[in-house]
Amino acid sequence: METDTTSPDALRASMVDKVRTMGHAWRSEVERVLRQVPRHEFVPEADLETAYHSWKAVITHRFEDGASLSCASAPYVVAMMLDQLDVQPGNRVLEIGAGTGYNAALLSELTGDAENVTTIDIDADVTTQASRALQTTGYGGVRVVTGDGAAGVPEHAPYDRIIATVSPWDIPEAWWNQLAPGGRIVLPLRWRGQARSVAFSEQEGRLISDSVELCGFVYLVGDDEGERSAPITEDGTVGLHWDRDQAVDPSVLKGVFDQPRITAWSGVTIAGDESHDGLWLHMTVTDSRTCRVNAQSDVSADVCDPIAPLRSPALVEGGSLAYLTSRRQETENGARWELGAIGNGPAAEELTERLCDEIRAWSSARDKRPTVIAYPADTPDNELAATPIEKAHSRLVLTFDDKLSTAM
């Protein structure tokens, strides 16, 4: 008898199998609910193959300018964050960013009761669609709220688990207040130009991470007060992104690419399918000058040649900068890419050598992740484990010191 490999059930099973091979849905209960909930019914405008593609998001709602506002996150990302959240039966859960309602359905299965789940979104069209899908699929008990996600939903607090499927630059005070003592919060937090899905547990008034994973999400609406960006070329084709607590003045960087270029190489190589992304995370721990440079696709490599044009780590010091680059090398085992740094400006030599030092330090322990500790904004300096990244509602400390992180 032939097996139908195109049915929703078969495609869903294949999706989960692929997500598992990617290292996600390692919690048995997460695998179970992914196999159980019909994802395609939450994205009815998508064909079945798209609905069950293991690493593609399905955009369901856009701003008038065409930017995506809401989507069903890629299944591997959904699985990754649910692994991080560790929902237990009976947990009360708040989701920031309703999306299609699919994640709320999964959370309903994990907690064992749809009435334990509250999801909020600022856009009424999104919540209307999510409510309809949840009703249709048997999860009508989920509370779907239209409102500002940054404010949470205090009337149903406290929550044992909070998950954000929109990316904040800071941790809103309301989320701190609505999280139960000892609870967990998972959010795609942004700092130093990059974003990570960070799983925090509440410990004596602080949030301490035990998982930090690469991710990318639509920004939390209205949460742009701390992240800065500006062009650093006259034609606006190269830009810089940094945080408000960094001493960056984009006006003094104008014309920096007209200055002599210095290139330095680290001796560290990677294969074509090997990620270098952990380097950026490492740099955010060890050098407070870390930010992001982005170059449009038509920018000549003679002007700016970052390893990834739209998203590359950089170091900035006054009117100088250095950014990550690479060059191809042929070896007996095939092509590899050597990582290095290109710098411009008076401090280019120091910055490029510093970036190469960072590459070598990261390369010696590529899988190591820092602990992220979030303190309330009024925490005095003498109670911090290290120099913080200053945000509006929190002081963020990143450390590779296991003794500091476990002593909190």
- Which residue in the list 14, 28, 54, 70 is annotated as catalytic? 70
Cis omega (within 30 of 0) for bond into 75: no
Give the pair of three-digit tokens for residue 293: 């440079």
Q: Among 125, 65, 70, which residue's Cα sits nearest to residue 103?
A: 70
- Is 131 assigned a catalytic role? no
Cβ distance 221 to 166 under 8 Å?
Answer: yes
Beta-ladder partners of 326:
339
Q: Among 191, 120, 155, which residue's Cα sits nearest to residue 395?
A: 191
Long-range (24+ apart) CB contacts under 8 A made by 178-181 are 178/94, 178/152, 178/153, 178/154, 180/92
Question: What is the radius of gyration, based on Cα positions, of the chain?
Answer: 22
Catalytically annotated residues: 70
